[in-house]
Structure 1
Amino acid sequence: MATEHELSDFLKSVEKRAFKRSLFHVRDEEAALDIVQDSMIKLAQHYGDKPPAELPMLFQRILTNSTLDWFRRRKTRNAHVTRLSDLEGPEDGGEIDFLDAYLAEDPSQRVESAEDSARRMQVLREIELQLQELPARQREAFLLRYWEEMDVAETAAAMGCTAGSVKQHCFRAIQALSKALRARGINA
């Protein structure tokens, strides 16, 4: 059973990554914050008494479901209003920097030249841009497997699909990212 302190520590450890993951899906900072907050509240209310080892899987599943719920509510709301395409134009233009933020968590662990650092940042920015272009399921599988470092079974459980589907989504995501990077002359 997770203590209040363990639950609090867990939520603090996942908040930034959860926000960036939600932001990749919904592309709206306020909505992403709401989704993460709702997910954290649901975890605390319904699963706070679970063992600490179960919290990551439960939270990822709740976050996925909350994101899907947001899209369903949005679709329903838009169906009841006249054509909103002019209101749903391009995003705010805000730059998403999930990999930068993720890697900047402990900069003291990296020693590299300014040139290497600049090149790495260029590659990371390009990956961020290309991640946004992936289909939602591929992006989700990729982020869970390689960013959240879940294994195939955990990712399948979080996404509500089979292990084979996770492998296929990840394979396609990696292929698309590699192709896009090569097209830009980046050998990552």
Structure 2
Amino acid sequence: MLMRGADEQAFRDFAISHAAALRRTAYLFCGDWHTAEDLMQASLLKLYQAWHRVEWRDHPSAYARKVLLRTWLDEKRRPWRRAEQRDGELPDVADSSSDPELAGERLWARDLVHAALLRVPPRQRAVLVLRYFEDLPVSEVAVAMGCTEGTVKSQTARGLVALRTAVEGLERVVVAS
């Protein structure tokens, strides 16, 4: 499908300004930068194909997040993804702007939370990422996920319990080793 010049430029501007945020959100969903890149690109392709329907909307970024979420959930359903296990360690990233001791503690906590987040079921993980990492209100998460606000609230509560359990389990493993 070919776009008019103005539409093409509007999409390019949108993609340039939102690609990094979409990739970061995709990474929080899936836990792998390569898969996150693929999800971001697939989402932008779908968005490009629907741009003539999206451009008039007030919040194309919300629509893009919804497309990204659905793309990720579709990818999770693929049989070859279900068999894949990721047991590798996350690389440490230096934080040169702070005290090295505090940076180490923050990196440990961040990695612990991220590893625990990957153990939370996909729908609950999606709700937690959209609510707490993307800082979206319940109503916008409900729209993005295509469910009711009550479902978002219950999935958030269950997700927080699952996240807490996963963090505690990972902490026990670290202490025991």
Could you tell me the percent identity over the aligned residues? 29
- State the number of aligned residues: 165
Shift in alpha-carbon separation, 1:141–1:96, aligned structure 2, 3 A: farther
Contact 1:19 1:32 in 2 (8 A): yes
Q: Distance between the aligned counterparts of 1:120 and 1:132, measured in 2?
A: 18
Deviation readout 1:17-61 (Å, 9 max, x if unpaired) = 433443455566554433221210221231255247421111111
Q: Kindly indicate whether residue 69 of structure 2 is the aligned counterpart of residue 64 of structure 1.
A: yes
Q: Distance between the aligned counterparts of 2:91 and 2:158, measured in 1?
A: 22
The answer for the alignment partner of 2:85 in structure 1 is 90
Q: Distance between the aligned counterparts of 1:164 and 1:10, measured in 2?
A: 32
SS in 2 for 1:150: coil
The answer for the alignment partner of 1:156 in structure 2 is 142
Q: Distance between the aligned counterparts of 2:113 and 2:28, measured in 1?
A: 12
Shift in alpha-carbon separation, 1:43–1:96, aligned structure 2, 3 A: farther
Segments ≥4 residues shifted beyond 6 Å: none
Shift in alpha-carbon separation, 1:112–1:156, aligned structure 2, 3 A: same
Amino acid at match of 2:86: E
- Within 5 Å, give how 1:24-173 maps onto structure 2: 24-26=28-30, 30-47=34-51, 50-51=55-56, 53-72=58-77, 74-75=78-79, 88=83, 90-91=85-86, 93=88, 95=90, 112-173=98-159
Shift in alpha-carbon separation, 1:94–1:41, aligned structure 2, 3 A: farther
Q: Distance between the aligned counterparts of 1:128 and 1:16, measured in 2?
A: 19
Give the deviation of 1:8 after TM superposition.
3.3
Q: Distance between the aligned counterparts of 1:152 and 1:89, measured in 2?
A: 31
- TM-score where L is the length of structure 2: 0.72
Q: Distance between the aligned counterparts of 2:89 and 2:145, measured in 1?
A: 27
Contact 1:39 1:63 in 2 (8 A): yes
Match of 1:14 among 10, 13, 18: 18
Shift in alpha-carbon separation, 1:42–1:146, aligned structure 2, 3 A: same
Give the deviation of 1:161 after TM superposition.
0.9
